[in-house]
Amino acid sequence: MALGTKQSKNETLQKKKIIYIGGDSGGNELMFRISQEVEQRHNTTSFYISTSKIGSANFKELGVKKEQLYEIDHLNFKLTKNPDKNYLHHAEVKYDFRIWDIWQVAAKRKKSRLKLSEDSILSLMESICKKAEWIAQHVKPDYAILCCVAGFHLVMMIRIFEKYGIEVLDFSNPRLPERFCFANELASNFPLLNRIYSERKQKGLTPSEIKESKEIIQRFKEEHFKPSDSTRVKESWPQVVRKYQRYLKIIYQRKKIPNFVNNLYYPIKEKVMRRFMSRFEKPVTGEKYVLFFLHVQPEASTSIMGKWYENQLNLIENIVRSLPCDYKLYVKEHVWNFSTRPRDYHHEIKKFPSVRLITPFSSSYDLIANSSAIVTITGTVGWEGILLQKPVITFGNVFYNVFDQVQKVEKIEELPAIIKRRIDTVVDLDQTLTFVSSVLASSFPGLGMIPADCQNRSLEPKNIKLLVDGLEKHVAYLRL
């Protein structure tokens, strides 16, 4: 399917005002490079939002002029003025958010934030809200572009921009290697996917679309591919040099040497734990089980998209209580998090007789392939289960919830009935092909990722052109 023509792409973006929201880990540079390519193609006017003082300095070094740059410092916890609670209350109503709900996205990331006073937190929220409103009212951008909604300040900005009719385009990961799409992160859906999936369910697939979908599934079965942010590639020496040059620049901008304790402690701890893995088990051949993968925390996948189920220990207990007596619950620890979670956390999981705490180094593919059902908050394991025609049950907001064969739990007391209905079922292949085809058609070649998450490959000139190609097609198609 052709997603837009050259004429429609030019009409859609030509001479528009676009504001690019930067971020850490190379996010500022990524947004700047995208803006330059869009300006060159469509004669757009670019503005930028920095989310810290360091970010502002970074944008200025890249060549952003003072009149193009707006700073919303989400780390300014030194505000001490009395917050205007009446203003904040009206903002909650107007923009449909809750201050203390949003704050929980940030509070867990650093222990020091748990000690902040109520007035300090509310003053910061008031400052962010008023600055975002001012930008929406005075700059009046047509589009806001960013990469990944992972902070409380971004949640507030997006809510405000949407209320003012500013179209927010968030680069996201469709869980296919070397591809990207655009998401409505706060609703955790892909607008283009929703539209294409609805169309293809009605019209059916062409022979070429069926062939493409089958090739994706077969490739997963053979290669066990992972999303690009989970895949490491070998770096050339010039790439390594450029990476460490960026690190040195960050250290210089921050005017202090970073804390290397965790960088040294956790790798050593991980190596030790690999040798002493007694708390973990291996899968038992022939055993019937439902599969649950622990999420990394804190992370937007739970703090934003799955916020009502962040307490994974509590969720595991509810799953256990919902299972038939002849099934186990396999809980697999995340390979990135197993050395950072306290020992007591794992012991709490193991206290249930019907639970096996599976080693993080077990094959995820084999665990999925041999499972009777998959339960997840918002994990990639759900998407991989779809590729293998497994019944998938979710608790949070995630893009593949739109698939007719995925069951989202709306009320926890319904979980036993849902598991009873779905366990050991095989999802229809034709329905699976329709959904996989829609995901493929609504995504584009390229890496729409924070540079630090992909070894800076998203900054390469060829990739920037691919990102803008996809941006043009996405916007044009949604205008048809």
The 10s digit of each residue's pLDDT in 413-458 is: 999 999 999 999 999 999 999 999 999 999 999 999 999 989 899 9
Question: C-alpha 334: how far from its chain's center?
Answer: 16
CB neighbours of residue 43 within 10 Å: 12
Candidates 327, 334, 410; CA nearest to 373 is 327
Closest CA to 192 of 165, 174, 210: 174
Rounded Cα distance, 170 and 84, in Å: 31
Tokens of residue 61, six digits? 């070094």
Which segments within 51-193 are labelled E, that is strand? 69-71, 143-147, 167-172, 179-183
Compute the distance between CA of residue 157 and CA of residue 21 in angstroms, rounded to an integer: 10
- Residue 143's DSSP bridge partners are 18, 167
Measure the N-to-C terminal CA separation of the chain; round to a whole number of Å. Answer: 13
Tell me whether strands 355-358 and 45-50 are parallel, antiparallel or unpaired: unpaired
What's the confidence (pLDDT) of residue 364?
96
Q: Which two tokens stand for residue 275?
A: 């040798």
Specify the DSSP class assigned to residue 463: H
Q: Distance (Å, rounded) from C-alpha 196 to C-alpha 204?
A: 11
Give me the residue label for tokens 């094959």. 363
- pLDDT of res. 60: 97
8 A C-beta contact, residue 251 and residue 257: yes
**Which residue, among 436, 476, 458, has the nearest Cα to 172 in the 3D structure?**
458
Q: Per residue of the chain (480 residues), what is the pLDDT tens digit? A: 445 444 445 568 999 999 999 998 899 999 999 999 999 999 999 999 999 999 999 999 999 999 999 999 887 766 667 899 999 999 999 999 999 998 887 666 777 777 888 998 999 999 999 999 999 999 999 999 999 888 889 999 999 999 999 999 999 999 999 999 999 877 778 999 999 999 999 999 999 999 999 999 999 999 999 887 555 555 556 656 655 665 565 555 545 555 555 555 445 545 555 555 678 999 999 999 999 999 988 777 887 888 899 999 999 999 999 999 999 999 999 886 666 788 899 999 999 999 999 999 999 999 999 999 999 999 999 999 999 999 999 999 999 999 999 999 999 999 999 999 999 999 999 999 999 999 999 999 999 999 998 989 999 999 999 999 999 999 999 887
The label of the residue with tokens 């206290």 reads: 351
**Main-chain phi, psi angles of 239, to 5 degrees:** -65, -40
Report the sign of the C-alpha dihedral through residues 101, 184, 67, 254, in that order. positive
> Among 60, 11, 62, which residue's Cα sits nearest to residue 34?
62
Structure tokens at 327: 């099934």
In angstroms, the CA 297 to CA 103 distance is: 16
Domains belonging to the chain, first-starting first, are 6-173+448-479 (3.40.50), 277-438 (3.40.50.2000)
Radius of gyration of the chain (CA): 23
Question: Tokens in use for 401?
Answer: 């919830």
Q: How far is CA 89 from CA 85, 92, 96, in A?
A: 6, 5, 10
Specify the pLDDT at position 376.
Answer: 98
- Round to whole Å and give the CA distance between 100 and 307: 12
The pTM of this model reads 0.88
Q: What is the pLDDT of residues 98-145, one digit of tens each?
A: 999 988 876 667 777 778 889 989 999 999 999 999 999 999 999 999
CA–CA distance from 31 to each of 75, 169, 188 (Å)? 20, 12, 22
pLDDT at 11: 65
- Are 29 and 450 in contact, with CB atoms under 8 Å apart? no
Amino acid at 193: L
Give the pLDDT of residue 7. 45
Beta pairing partners, 312: none
> Starting at the edge strand that comes first in sequence, how are the strands of the sheet with 373-376 ordered?
355-358, 328-332, 289-293, 373-376, 392-394, 406-408
Tell which residue, 479, 403, 480, 457, has the closest CA to residue 180.
Answer: 457
**Rounded CA gap, 90 and 48, in Å?**
27
DSSP structure class, residue 151: S
